[in-house]
Amino acid sequence: MFPHDTRRQRLAETMRAHGGGVAIAFTAPEVARNRDSEYPYRWDSYFYYLTGFPEPEAAMVLVADGATTESILFCREKNEEREIWDGFRFGPEAARERFGFDRSLPFGSLDEELPKLLADRPALWYALGADEALDARVHRWLGAVRAQARAGVVAPAQAFDLRAVLDEMRLFKDEHEIATMRRAAQISSAAHVRAMRATRPGCHEYEIEAELLHEFRRNGSQFPAYGSIVAGGRNACVLHYRGNDARLADGELLLIDAGCELDGYASDITRTYPVNGRFTGPQRRLYEIVLDAQRAAIDATRAGARFIDPHDAAVRVLAQGMIDCGLVAGSLDGVIESGAYKRFYMHRTGHWLGMDVHDCGDYREPGAPVPAAAGPGAPAAATAGAPAADTGKPWRVLAPGMVLTVEPGLYVRAASDVPAEFHDIGIRIEDDALVTSSGCEILTVDAPKRVDDIEALMRG
């Protein structure tokens, strides 16, 4: 059985536990960049999670009714002319067989088929609010069902947010996902090693970016999982630096936050190292604080701990380091309570990782699926960059199968009240952790991060 098939069965079980109904998931549209040129196509993560089907113009319908489940794929028909220009299309029949669906139909028949499929079903499971045009289309289908009321046909009385169910499923990676994420993490680790080997004073950030992309692509990764950050010197203090065009100077650090996407799964690694291969005293001092903070956070990443525990552990080490280095003044508890440390550490220590680099999944303890009328969407995911609003719900308890990043940092912008030796040093160290029953497995372990290991690698 395909892993996607198993996931559809699990979704159907959840739907059935709430009375059953019809789930609809669309894939992403192709997006024009300019005339005759499109952005590289990337399917919708929810759709792909349930189907493994890579083509645009496709939708999945799952009917969970009584004890039976029917999975239907709507996809493009074979078309010789379009295939000459744009490449192979499965077509419904081959797609049904290859991707394990019960039935497949042409994408062009959606408007005709969906009112039939929605008739006399108790509920609709759909990502309401994600796309206005698709919402309107679904409303038209529901309208078409309601129009048959005199004939005794009943439209779904309830709508559930499909994302809430899938977010929860996606939070726990299955074996297929873990194997893919392990490989993605290995490729990205090799890319960071390649970058370290290639770095020399005088070369440009984009030359190092090219090394990363080379290693991603030559190992079969389809895309970077996000825009690579290759930030020399003070550029490392810009959290979402995108320029990647500066010349790297002797004596600076280089911060690289880059990870590949492999078969739909992200990896996310940051390493910071000296352009010339040798840390200066002050660079090393701050680096060791971040490394100690990461170690403390990794120790706190285990089943039974709460999502926020690694962050709290990292903050304690970072704040103490800031006090020791004269960056902030006061007691450890005082610096943490007042938030004074946030001047130099302003983001969260991790985020869920999976198909999306900032993956879906509740950062707080979940409730039951919410009828869409009562809650228009799954709560926005917190990110390492933007802490979630405090909902008052307890933080999520970590459990085996969850994958999250561990990424403390220190960013010291030049200022008159900051010791000059630390000016313009930005450091982040980021690894990807799979929660296990006994602790966590670091998937990105092949990218060196100890000072001695980095210096030895760059000497060689």
Nearest-CB residue for ligand GLY: 384
Instruction: Find the shortest distance in angstroms from Cβ 240 to ligand GLY.
Output: 8
347: annotated active-site residue: yes
Cβ closest to ligand GLY, residue 12 vs residue 255: 255
CB-nearer residue toward ligand GLY: 177 or 430: 430
The verdict on 357 binding ligand GLY (CB under 6 A) reads: yes
Name residues contacting ligand GLY, limited to 403-442 (CB under 6 A).
407, 430
Helix, strand, coil content of the chain in percent (nearest 5): 40, 20, 40
Residue 55 appears among annotated catalytic residues: no
Burial class (CB in 10 A: 0-12, 13-18, 19+), 403: buried
CB 422 within 8 A of CB 327: yes
DSSP element (H, E) containing 406: strand 403-406
Taking CB under 6 A as the rule, does residue 355 contact ligand GLY? no
Q: Does 118 participate in binding ligand GLY (rule CB under 6 A)?
A: no
Length of the chain: 460
For the question of residue 411 being annotated catalytic, the response is yes
- Partner whose footprint covers residue 226, from Mn ion, ligand GLY, none (CB < 5 to 8 Å by kind): ligand GLY
Q: Binding string, 245-264, against Mn ion, x = CB under 5 A?
A: ------------x-------
Output the CA angle 108-112-115, nearest 5 degrees: 135
Tokens of residue 414, six digits: 């030049």
How far apart are CB 244 and ligand GLY at their closest, in Å?
A: 14
Q: Helix, strand, or coil here: 13?
A: helix
268 is an interface residue for Mn ion by CB under 5 A: yes
Is residue 428 among the annotated active site residues? yes
Distance, CA of 180 to chain centre? 14
* Binding residues among 255-284 for ligand GLY as defined by CB under 6 A: 257, 268
**Beta carbon of residue 177, minimum distance to Mn ion (angstroms, whole number):** 18
From the candidates 257, 359, 362, 432, which is the catalytic residue?
Answer: 257
Q: 187 and 267 in contact (C-beta within 8 Å)?
A: yes
Cα dihedral: 415, 417, 423, 427 (round 10): -100
CB of 391: closest distance to ligand GLY in angstroms? Answer: 21
C-beta neighbour count of 374 within 10 angstroms: 7
Distance, in Å, from the CA atom of 313 to the CA atom of 293, rounded to the nearest integer, reads 7
Query: How far, in Å, CA of 293 to CA of 31, rounded?
Result: 41
AA identity, residue 70: E
Cβ at position 320, least distance to Mn ion in Å: 24
Q: Is the torsion defined by CA of 64, 66, 67, 68 positive or negative? A: negative
Return the amino acid letter for 387. Answer: P
Q: C-beta of 292: minimal distance to Mn ion in Å?
A: 19
Q: Is 257 a catalytic residue?
A: yes
268 given a catalytic annotation: yes
Binding mask 25-64 for ligand GLY (x = CB under 6 A): ----------------------------------------
Is 328 buried (19+), middle (13-18) or exposed (0-12) by CB count in 10 A? buried
- Footprint on residues 232-251 left by ligand GLY (CB under 6 A): none
200-232: string of b/e by CB count within 10 Å (b at 16+)?
Answer: eeebebebbbbbbbebbeebebbebbbebbbbb
Site size toward ligand GLY (CB under 6 A) is: 8
Residue 36 appears among annotated catalytic residues: yes
State the minimum distance, in angstroms, from the CB of residue 230 to ligand GLY: 12
Residue 69 interaction partner, one of ligand GLY, Mn ion, none, beta carbon < 5-8 Å per kind: none
3-state SS assignment for residue 428: strand
**Of the listed 163, 271, 311, 358, which one is catalytic?**
358
Tell which one of 124, 314, 384, 440 touches ligand GLY (CB under 6 A): 384
Residue 454: CB minimum distance to Mn ion, A: 18
- Mask: binding to ligand GLY, 195-234, rule CB under 6 A, as x and -? -------------------------------x--------
Query: For Mn ion, what does the binding mask look like between residues 377 and 416, x meaning CB under 5 A?
Result: -------x--------------------x-----------
Using CA atoms of 73, 375, 7, 16 in order, give the dihedral in degrees to the nearest 10: -90
What DSSP element (H or E) covers 234?
A: none
Nearest by Cα to 74 from 84, 87, 62, 66: 62
Q: Which residues are known to be catalytic?
A: 36, 240, 257, 268, 347, 351, 358, 407, 411, 428, 430
Q: Which residues bind ligand GLY (CB under 6 A)?
A: 226, 257, 268, 351, 357, 384, 407, 430
